[in-house]
Protein backbone atom coordinates (compact mmCIF):
# COMPACT_ATOMS: atom_id res chain seq x y z
CA UNK A 1 0.00 0.00 0.00
CA UNK A 2 1.35 3.42 -0.90
CA UNK A 3 2.23 5.95 1.78
CA UNK A 4 -0.27 8.42 0.35
CA UNK A 5 -3.10 5.90 0.70
CA UNK A 6 -2.14 5.08 4.27
CA UNK A 7 -2.00 8.79 5.11
CA UNK A 8 -5.43 9.28 3.57
CA UNK A 9 -6.98 6.54 5.69
CA UNK A 10 -5.28 7.77 8.87
CA UNK A 11 -6.61 11.27 8.21
CA UNK A 12 -10.11 9.98 7.56
CA UNK A 13 -10.15 7.88 10.73
CA UNK A 14 -8.80 10.73 12.88
CA UNK A 15 -11.30 13.11 11.29
CA UNK A 16 -14.17 10.77 12.07
CA UNK A 17 -13.02 10.42 15.66
CA UNK A 18 -12.83 14.22 15.97
CA UNK A 19 -16.28 14.80 14.50
CA UNK A 20 -18.03 11.98 16.33
CA UNK A 21 -16.37 12.02 19.76
CA UNK A 22 -14.26 15.16 20.12
CA UNK A 23 -10.63 16.15 20.37
CA UNK A 24 -9.75 13.78 23.25
CA UNK A 25 -10.99 10.75 21.34
CA UNK A 26 -9.01 11.88 18.30
CA UNK A 27 -5.83 11.96 20.40
CA UNK A 28 -6.53 8.49 21.78
CA UNK A 29 -7.15 7.12 18.28
CA UNK A 30 -3.93 8.72 17.04
CA UNK A 31 -1.91 7.34 19.97
CA UNK A 32 -3.28 3.83 19.54
CA UNK A 33 -2.65 4.04 15.81
CA UNK A 34 0.99 4.95 16.47
CA UNK A 35 1.32 2.00 18.87
CA UNK A 36 -0.16 -0.30 16.24
CA UNK A 37 2.27 1.05 13.65
CA UNK A 38 5.23 0.39 15.96
CA UNK A 39 3.97 -3.10 16.77
CA UNK A 40 3.71 -3.84 13.05
CA UNK A 41 7.28 -2.62 12.49
CA UNK A 42 8.54 -4.86 15.30
CA UNK A 43 6.65 -7.88 13.96
CA UNK A 44 7.96 -7.28 10.42
CA UNK A 45 11.51 -7.05 11.78
CA UNK A 46 12.03 -3.45 10.64
CA UNK A 47 12.47 -2.18 14.20
CA UNK A 48 14.60 -3.82 16.91
CA UNK A 49 13.67 -2.88 20.48
CA UNK A 50 15.89 -5.43 22.25
CA UNK A 51 18.39 -2.73 23.28
CA UNK A 52 15.63 -0.79 25.05
CA UNK A 53 13.83 -3.76 26.58
CA UNK A 54 16.92 -5.47 28.02
CA UNK A 55 17.65 -5.12 31.70
CA UNK A 56 20.20 -2.61 32.97
CA UNK A 57 22.86 -5.28 33.66
CA UNK A 58 22.73 -6.84 30.20
CA UNK A 59 24.45 -4.06 28.25
CA UNK A 60 27.83 -4.91 26.81
CA UNK A 61 29.47 -1.56 27.57
CA UNK A 62 32.25 -1.62 30.13
CA UNK A 63 32.18 0.78 33.05
CA UNK A 64 35.36 2.19 34.53
Would residue 40 count as lying in a domain?
yes
Q: Is residue 24 domain-resident?
A: yes
| Domain annotation covers residue 61 | no
For residue 38, give its domain range.
3-53
Instruction: Answer whether residue 15 is part of any domain.
Output: yes
End-to-end CA distance of the chain: 49
- 61: alpha, beta or left? (left if phi > 0; alpha if psi -120 to 50): beta
* Residue 63 forms part of a structural domain: no
Domain count, the chain: 1
pLDDT of 21-61, one tens digit each?
A: 999 988 998 898 888 888 888 888 888 888 888 877 665 55
Q: Say which residue, 18 or 56, is predicted with more confidence.
A: 18
Residue 17 pLDDT greater than 80, yes or no: yes
Q: Region 16-24: what's the mean pLDDT?
A: 92
Q: Is 18 a member of any domain?
A: yes
- How many C-beta neighbours within 10 Å does residue 17 have? 19
Do the domain assignments include residue 45?
Answer: yes
Amino acid sequence: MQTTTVGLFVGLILGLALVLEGFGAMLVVGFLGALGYLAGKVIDGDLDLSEYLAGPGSRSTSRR
